[in-house]
Amino acid sequence: AQRVTQPEKLLSVFKGAPVELKCNYSYSGSPELFWYVQYSRQRLQLLLRHISRESIKGFTADLNKGETSFHLKKPFAQEEDSAMYYCALAKTSYDKVIFGPGTSLSVIP
């Protein structure tokens, strides 16, 4: 069965420092991959998906099929980036979406 792991439960970085949130998945095919974010007192919402290859709020994520990873990166963290980040996977365009355990990012002023 497919699985998503996020090795860090908590991650703290200083404002202006680079940030990388790790995501690894176990699935032999070509999955659909996403990053969702939950800001304090807000709904969980889509941040970005690998098929669109876009940068949202300065974040990017690259799919590495060899390492089965989809790490989220931002060169300069901002205080407003503090939130809970979830990596998610779907096997096919019409399949269920499963989530990793999440990483809580704290950006220190």
User: Smaller CB distance to other proteins: residue 12 or 78?
Assistant: 12
Contacts of 94 (CB under 8 A, 6+ apart): none
Question: What token pair was written down for 57?
Answer: 């709020």
Site for other proteins in 7-26 (CB under 8 A): none
Q: CA–CA distance from 99 to each of 18, 32, 53 (Å)? A: 24, 12, 20
User: Smaller CB distance to other proteins: residue 12 or 38?
Assistant: 38
What SS3 class is residue 62? Answer: strand
Under rule CB under 8 A, residue 63 binds other proteins: no
Under rule CB under 8 A, residue 92 binds other proteins: yes
The size of the chain, in residues, is 109
| Residue of 18, 58, 75, 101 that binds other proteins (CB under 8 A) | 101
Binding site for other proteins (CB under 8 A): 6, 32, 36, 43-46, 49, 51, 86, 90-102
